[in-house]
Every structure is written in C-alpha cells, then in structure tokens.
Amino acid sequence: HEADAHRTDLMTITRFVLNEQSKHPESRGDFSILLSHIVLGCKFVCSAVNKAGLAKLIGLAGETNVQCILVSEEDEEAIFVEPSKRGKYCVVFDPLDGSSNIDCGVSIGTIFGIYMMKDSHEPTLDDVLQPGNNMLAAGYCMYGSSCTLVLSTGSGVNGFTLDPSLGEFILTHPDIKIPKKGKIYSVNEGNAKNWDGPTAKYVEKCKFPKDGSSPKSLRYIGSMVADVHRTLLYGGIFMYPRDKKSPNGKLRVLYEVFPMSFLMEQAGGQSFTGKQRALDLVPKKIHERSPIFLGSYDDVEEIKALFYAAEEKK
C-alpha cells in the first residue's frame, strides 16, 4: 500500500546527512561523522532528560574525534582536543540551555554551531572567535513532549523528530520557512523598566498598535530553544534586549545567538543585535553576550527601523 511504502522509505537524519555529504564529492566524511556524534549526544541527553531529572551526565567519549576545539557553556575555558585525535572542525555548544527549567518540566534544549578551523596548524582561540557568517552548520535539539532536532548545514532548515522505537531522528519538518510576519512577540516583560528606547517603543507598538491592527500576543517560556522553536514554526519575534543592568543582554554570542541567527536566516527570517546583523558580529571572548532580536523578516525589520531612527537622533 502507498501508506506502507512511505513507512519503509523513512528519511532518517543519518541518510539526510549522507545525502548532504554526497553533494560535496571532495569531502572525506569527517563532517558527517561529527554531525552523527552530535546527534548521538542529543539522543543521550534526551533519554537522560526523559528520566525526569538528570542523572550525572557522563561525557560521551567518542573514539574518532573530528573536532579540534570545543567551547561549552559549561566550561570556562575552551577544550583543545589532544593532537592525535584532532580534526579540522570546532564545535561551540550549550549542552543544556534553559536547564533551570528542568524541575518544572518546561522544554529545554541543546544548541550547537560548527566552524572549520582557520588553518590546519596548531589550533588557537582565534579558530572559534570567528563571525557567525563563518559557521558551516548550526542546530538545536529540543527536549519536550517529543525530541525534535532542527538543523541547517547552509542550504535550508530541516526538522527531525526522534522515534524512540527506532532510536532514529526522522525527517518531519522538511525545508522549514518562517512566516514573513507573525502575530507573537516574545520577551521578558519583567525587564521593561530597564529597556532602551527602541525596545520599549517596539513593545508598545505590539500592545497598542496605532494602525488599527490587532495587538500581538505575548508568548514567553523563558527557555530559548522552546521560544525560538515556536518563533521558527509560527512566526513573530523573539527578543533578549540589552538593559541598564545587562548592557550586552544575557544570551551568549557563540552558542546561543549565532546558531539561532544562522537558522533564522536560513529559514528566511533575520536576526539583529540592536546595532548590526547578528551574524556579522566578531566575538572577542568565547562567553561574550549580545542583545538579540530574531524571527520573521518583517517584524525584525520594524524594530531595526526604530533602532536606526534613534541612532540618527543622536
């Protein structure tokens, strides 16, 4: 039967990654091996998180390392892989973003980005202090009612859902495109007292539109992966602005802002820091923060206009 035929022709993330690799005949497969290790890590975290409380996550010691530098939100210093196991890629990641939400069952996630080393000599921090434009791939895995992995390797965005009976991620959201405009704004209104002018003006516009349109809905989960995933699928804007207490906002450039900005642009949206296109940022420190406004193209365009108008008045 037609339905059964589809069931046997499952597009798994493994097949998807290998299909991508076949588009680069010169590649030796290191990138596919790296992605498959990241996918394995996400499956491991998914099973641990689903045990309603994290057992101590022991490291997944991979035999063949194909990366040379690892930057994790959990580690103050970058991790340099030992020379014998060194590859040509660098991975920046937040292994469990939003982990303060675990106890109340709110969706949390892993966020990652992949760079190619600048040159194949001794790796240095410069290999990860690259602009977001240089990222080769980015993605997140959301641990919620289902385990969903959203990935881009530079030619669009695809979503995969873990089928626990197979232990495989199956392609469920092919070629995700974010709606050009949305009806949702997502920000922690509790910081409103300390917002800068353009942010306050934009949120005011969302709540009391002057053009007679209906107000936007506020949705804020306080877990970046969940807020961004909803924004990607339903449209709208997600913001973590700067404020008087945190002049660079709260979210980290390398493993929160860049990967989510990469995905948004690949899905037809955009991502802005209040000053510039987020992916144009060049980080100077591995745990640097930046304000962020990302989501539907037209919604971000509106807040950009308010920031640029405020610049002009200075």
Site residues, ligand P6P (CB under 6 A): 97-98, 100, 188, 222-224, 227, 250
For residues 124 and 246, which CB has a smaller minimum distance to ligand P6P in the complex?
A: 246
Q: Do residues 81 and 49 make contact, with C-beta atoms less than 8 angstroms apart? A: no
Close Cβ partners of 113 (under 8 Å, ≥ 6 residues apart) = 91, 92, 93, 132, 135, 137, 138, 254, 255, 258, 259, 262
Helix (H, G, I), strand (E, B) or coil at 70: strand
Q: How far is the CB of 227 from ligand P6P (least distance, A)?
A: 6
For residues 100 and 276, which CB has a smaller minimum distance to ligand P6P in the complex?
A: 100
For residues 89 and 258, which CB has a smaller minimum distance to ligand P6P in the complex?
A: 258
**Cα angle: 14, vertex 257, 56; to 5 degrees:** 60
Close Cβ partners of 198 (under 8 Å, ≥ 6 residues apart) = 274, 303, 306, 307, 309, 310
For residues 18 and 102, which CB has a smaller minimum distance to ligand P6P in the complex?
A: 102
Q: How far is the CB of 311 from ligand P6P (least distance, A)?
A: 26
Q: How far is the CB of 99 from ligand P6P (least distance, A)?
A: 7
Q: How far is the CB of 63 from ligand P6P (least distance, A)?
A: 32
Structure tokens at 259: 């990967």
Q: How far is the CB of 185 from ligand P6P (least distance, A)?
A: 14
Length of the chain: 314
CA 36 to chain CA centroid, Å, is 18
Sheet holding 158-163, edge to edge: 79-80, 67-72, 89-97, 108-116, 137-143, 147-152, 158-163, 168-173
For residues 87 and 113, which CB has a smaller minimum distance to ligand P6P in the complex?
A: 113
Q: How far is the CB of 97 from ligand P6P (least distance, A)?
A: 5
For residues 239 and 306, which CB has a smaller minimum distance to ligand P6P in the complex?
A: 239
What are the two backbone dihedrals, phi and then psi, of residue 219, each rounded to the nearest 5 degrees?
Answer: -130, 120
